[in-house]
Structure 1
Amino acid sequence: MGMSVTISAATEADAEQILKLQYLCYQSEAQLYGDYSIEPLTQSLESVRGELTSGTVLVARLGDEVVASVRGTTDADGTAHIGKLIVHPRLRRHGLGGRLLAAIEAQLATAGTAKRFELFTGHRSDHNLRLYRRHGYAPVTTEKVDERLTVVTLAKETEAPSLTGV
């Protein structure tokens, strides 16, 4: 390809590409759990646009093409919720998901209100679980949704600022 992937804040103009990529990326999750009614496959373009204005959305671009994305918000208690980390199937397993995860953590931590990061995935999503564990996340809860799906919530504390000269 000869081009490098760049990570930046998503813009309103990215909404449609994000939604199309999300639809492509979540096909494998839907197949894994036998459920094509999952929220990422039914989300509307208006809803994605709303997330662009209400939270932090990052995209990875290869040229003009959005090839990966992630979203995050921080609640009043200081928990940064990270979700919809997606990477185009042709670019998976090259470290892009980890780069995006680190970038959204840095962005949310820079805002100064995040005390911990939290995300979730399905119990059969082995690649996701391995990625999150590699980046310091540990399971904190599991919730059986139905006979096909158990949701695993993972979390990690934000890096505490170092206190030098104290």
Structure 2
Amino acid sequence: MGMSVIVAAAQESDAEQIFRLQYLCFQSEAERYGNYRIEALVESLDSVRASVERDCVFVARLGDEVVGAVTGTVGEDGTARIGKLCVHPRLQRHGLGARLLLAVERALTTERGASRLRLHTGHRSDLNLRLYRRAGYAAVGDTTVDGVQQIVLEKAAPTGQEYAASA
């Protein structure tokens, strides 16, 4: 009998698994750009713990294992910043990234009052770009983060009614 993947708010006890998962998942990005100083690779366990306590963090669980994660925060201007979306390599391309993205968007909008949603990804990260565009994000600029050229994408935060319709 197979298990289902459950997407839920992260708990303090998930921090170590999130920390390890980020390190595993962002290796391919580091290799793609020849840069192993990407934030998700150099972030400390204490920083991940603090993020789980403070920010809007969701995980995907397969049994007791965290197999996906995403983090979001809302700034004073009402713009949510979504980052560190990752899915274990063995489970990628099965819709978990989209499920995590939707979960954090809903929480940032309905619980934390975000009016805009913003994220960024490397300019050569084609699968990430495809996911974000399918989720309604559009490129609004570019920036350099950790020495990597990034495309900045945004969309207006959907209303609660729009989320209800998509459930």
**TM-score w.r.t. length of structure 1:** 0.92
Cα offsets for 1:55-83 (capped at 9, x unmatched): 11100000000000000011111001110
Which residue matches 2:107?
107
Contact 2:110 2:160 in 1 (8 A): no
Unaligned runs of 5+ residues in structure 1 are: none
Which residue matches 1:133?
133
Matched residues, number: 161
Runs (4+) of structure 1 exceeding 2 A deviation are: 143-146
Greater CA radius of gyration, 1 or 2? Answer: 1
Say if 2:2 is the partner of 1:2. yes
Which residue matches 1:153?
152
Cα offsets for 1:81-117 (capped at 9, x unmatched): 1100000000000001001101111111111511010
Give the aligned CA root-mean-square deviation in angstroms.
Answer: 1.6
Match of 1:94, SS state, is: coil
1:37 CA drift (Å): 1.5
Which residue matches 1:62?
62
CA distance in 1, matches of 2:42, 2:133: 28
Which amino acid in structure 1 is aligned with residue 84 of structure 2? Answer: K
CA distance in 2, matches of 1:35, 1:112: 33
Pairwise mapping of residues 8-157 of structure 1 onto structure 2 (< 5 A)? 8-144=8-144, 149-157=148-156
Which residue matches 2:165?
none
1:143 CA drift (Å): 2.2
CA distance in 1, matches of 2:95, 2:10: 20
Cα 1:3–1:145, aligned 2, differ >3 Å: closer, same or farther?
closer
Unaligned runs of 5+ residues in structure 2 are: 162-167
**TM-score w.r.t. length of structure 2:** 0.91
